[in-house]
Amino acid sequence: MKDEQKNRPAKKTVLVLFPLSDLGQKIVGLFSQNGYRVNIILSNEKEQNEFNPPQENVSIFYLQAQPGQFWSNLADDVKSDILSAPVVIYCAGKDFLKMESTGKQEEWQIDFQSDTQKRLTFIDQLLSQFSENKPGLWINLAVGTTMQHSKATAYCKTRYGMIGFGKILELNPKFQGMTIRNICLSFFRHFHAGKAIDYCANCTTTDLRDSLMSLKNEDDLVRYLLNESEDLITRIAVEE
């Protein structure tokens, strides 16, 4: 029985959050073509009507007006399918740049009505829903922008959002052992456009820089994400 469990293929499911961009569409298409069950979360019903993914192995869901309604409206088996995905890909786009708040010091408020904050609130709820079936791989795909910090060198605003998000996961015992990949799409696109781009020395993409430099275009990037996911699935199968 134990040998049979080791040889049993791990569940090939991926949860893709807010993949409205062309890159997001490519991700959904390639994973579906390679036998993955793809669950997609979109921001609203309008996006669901506009999204046109391949039909095979793909399910689309959208956020309701009240964040808690999303989970209460799901059947138990559907909810279980979403939460058991070993791979989560968050197509963050400019979400880490668009977070808005007002006030200073202790007196500040988040704009909970903004689309960006609604997406981030959903992700916070999603993380709280994971139990023992946490994802093995979480990938953030975000657009960055360089800024000048007084007389210091350039830094990337997106860096702090992605690193902060990753640190939250690392400090939570529930998510220990989960691999987090932060990919700055601005670095990737500017590099391949031949433009000089000065990211801070601690750019979140530093640990992936060599891998990203070896890719020629977005299609290669999507295949890289698929290969990372395949490696994880293989490791899970061996461990089981």
Taking only the tens place, the pLDDT of each residue in 67-122 is 678 888 889 999 999 999 999 999 988 887 776 555 555 555 555 567 888 888 88
Q: What would you report as the CA-atom Rg of the chain, rounded to the nearest whole angstrom?
A: 18
Phi first, then psi: what are they for 155, rounded to 5°?
-140, 165
pLDDT confidence of residue 218: 87
CA 139 to CA 183: how far, in whole Å?
8
pLDDT confidence of residue 5: 39
In angstroms, the Cα distances linking 23 to 12, 66, 69, 160, 171 are: 20, 28, 28, 23, 30
The two three-digit tokens of residue 141, written as one number: 């795909």
